[in-house]
Structure 1
Amino acid sequence: MSEHEIAALDSAPSEAELSRLRPPYKSVLDLIGQTPVVELTKFDTGKCRLFIKLESQNPGGSIKDRIALSMIAAAEKQGKLKRGGTIVEATAGNTGLGLAQVGIPKGYRIVLVVPDKMSREKIQHLRALGAEVRMTRSDVGKGHAEYYQDMA
């Protein structure tokens, strides 16, 4: 790295650079769904144009962030969920992460019931967000009292 490049890292952005930036988001919730759209041009689509939306760019890394935001907003609108309430979900993946990312900043208690085969990193991530994680046995099937979906 040259001295000029190093100096550029240490300097404040210019007015021109700042004017090109969008205003900062007020909340991580405002980022959900604001993912880039990319046109795919290397495919033969005839007269059609093909676009993809990069849902992996949501804060939680998946489309499940949108689902969580939508479910919580609908429950709030219907009066089924009020600030301080509890959301309980059986999850083995990204839905729980989405619910934690949306619900906790909104003031909800999030209880996620997960199978014990879930990775330690995912469990630590959920707990770091503030979710309560209850682990269940993964060696039992539906109908068993300790199956994660039945326990929730």
Structure 2
Amino acid sequence: MSSRPRAAWPLVAVFTAGYLAAYLLPTIVGRLSVYLGLSTAQAGLVGSALLLSSASAGFSLAGRVETYGPCRPARVGLILCVVGYGCAALAGTVPLVVAGAMVGGFGSGTATAVAAAGIAAQSDPHRTSSLGLLSVSATAGALYLTVP
């Protein structure tokens, strides 16, 4: 076994991709009410469904990451994020947006659970988790500044 420490940047990248939806959720809920004509409560319900889907993935996978290995669940989670959020962004009807948000939320929860398990196994998990949170904040800030 090598004594060389493993690089933390892949974990930070997966954590950023998985946790970004939670950072952008207030904007997502606001856009749902404006562009799809949902009431504030209905748009909040869609946001809650996204978070519930993410949390259910995290709870069901967090203890099993070591069993499955980190690569395959992380890839599946990131693919679900892209497919789910992409479909939600391109859909014009409320049921497709809700389904896309829930699929994307499940992918976000999967990616975040894998990254959190990997971060916890690092030699300095506090530094890596702080780097992950800073990365999510910087990415969200960049998106807020560039996307109208």
Name the structure, 1 or 2, with higher relative contact order (CA <8 Å, separation 6+): 2
TM-score normalised to structure 2 length: 0.26
**Larger fraction in strand:** 1
Instruction: Report the structure, 1 or 2, having the larger helix content.
Output: 2
TM-score by length of 1: 0.25
